[in-house]
Amino acid sequence: MFGWSINLFRIRGIQLAVHASFFLLLAYVGFNAWLEGGGIGLVLNVAMVLAFFACVVLHELGHSFTAMHFGVGVRRILLMPIGGMAEFDAIPRQPSRELLITLAGPAVNFAIAAVLWVLVGLPADWRLFGFSDYPDTAVGLFQLLLHWNLVMGLFNLLPVFPMDGGRILRALLATRLPYLRATFWAASLGKVLALIAGLIAAFVFHHYLTAFLFAFIYLAGDAEYRAVLRRDLEDAHWRALAAQGFATPAVPEEPPLLGP
Ligand SMILES: [Zn+2]
């Protein structure tokens, strides 16, 4: 699924790559905009998509630079039509670090929103849900970008995996609980929320695409818990073998402390 990507350039050693389907999205948006608004519509809408994904990259760089500050290697940032994904060598299990690394992403969106709010403000008819005033001026473009950064920041704070909010909740729980228990409770809460939201989307609003999204979120909670459980079991397995005097492969250590 993640094949077919094109490497663009490196930012502080992190490879920025774009999934091939991203260009399909650009072509789709460009063609529709051209049909509706001609040349100017095409330029503004393609610029809007590129600006939106630039904000996605900045969000991922927020996570990445904070991770690098703690000595965690970041291999690449992959852009897909559904969003961005930063690939880390290993997410630290210290709650305070995971908390800071995770908070840094939405914080970037709110910082961008604050700067744009000072520069262009929001239109009088703005609302958080359902605002999609397609821009026909440069100011309109920046207002839509401001709106999207607010939505991106808030949506990512939902306390469900694979969103940043799920990791934030796990990190907060992990200050009191073992990491696996914290993951279990964070994933369970996320699954209950996803189930309720999915049922409401399907049977109250008849919005099946949103229901499908929450089905995906439900499964992601399971996947996160199983990934942490598997790593715990593997670690325990190798430790048990090592205790009996068998040679074992090197267990990856926690990244070295570089700061703060
Ligand atoms: Zn994020």
> Which of the pair, 131 or 50, is modelled with greater confidence?
50
Q: Quick check: 76 and 89 in contact, CB under 8 A?
A: no
How remote is the CA of residue 103 from the centroid of ligand 1, in Å?
A: 8
How remote is the CA of residue 197 from the centroid of ligand 1, in Å?
A: 21
Strands ordered across the beta sheet of 83-88: 5-11, 14-19, 74-80, 83-88
pLDDT for the residue numbered 93: 78
Q: What is the pLDDT of residues 210-250, one digit of tens each?
A: 888 888 888 888 888 888 888 888 877 877 777 777 765 55
How remote is the CA of residue 26 from the centroid of ligand 1, in Å?
A: 23
Percent of the chain with pLDDT over 70: 91
Q: Give yes or no: residues 151 and 129 share one domain.
A: yes
Q: Give yes or no: residues 136 and 202 share one domain.
A: no
Q: For this structure, is 60 an active site residue?
A: yes
Q: Taking the model in full, what pTM does it have?
A: 0.80
Q: Give yes or no: residues 89 and 208 share one domain.
A: no
Instruction: Read off the pLDDT of each residue in 56-76 and give the average, rounded to a whole number.
Output: 91
How remote is the CA of residue 63 from the centroid of ligand 1, in Å?
A: 7
d(CA 69, CA 71): 5
Q: Give yes or no: residues 187 and 125 share one domain.
A: no
Q: Give yes or no: residues 19 and 145 share one domain.
A: yes
Q: Give yes or no: residues 1 and 25 share one domain.
A: yes
Q: Give yes or no: residues 152 and 183 share one domain.
A: no
**H or E segment to which residue 185 belongs:** helix 179-203
pLDDT class of 131 with cuts at 50, 70, 90: low
End-to-end CA distance of the chain: 37
pLDDT for the residue numbered 254: 43
Task: Look at the chain and report how many structural domains it folds into.
Answer: 2
Q: Which of 101, 133, 157 is the last residue of a domain?
A: 157
Q: Give yes or no: residues 22 and 124 share one domain.
A: yes
How remote is the CA of residue 84 from the centroid of ligand 1, in Å?
A: 8
Q: What is the pLDDT of residues 43-55, one digit of tens each?
A: 888 888 888 889 9
How remote is the CA of residue 3 from the centroid of ligand 1, in Å?
A: 21
Out of 60, 98, 253, 254, the active site residue is 60
CA-only gyration radius of the chain, Å: 21
Q: Give yes or no: residues 129 and 108 share one domain.
A: yes
Q: Give yes or no: residues 143 and 63 share one domain.
A: yes
Q: Give yes or no: residues 92 and 14 share one domain.
A: yes
Domain that holds residue 89: 1-157
Q: Is 84 helix (H, G, I), strand (E, B) or coil?
A: strand
How remote is the CA of residue 146 from the centroid of ligand 1, in Å?
A: 17
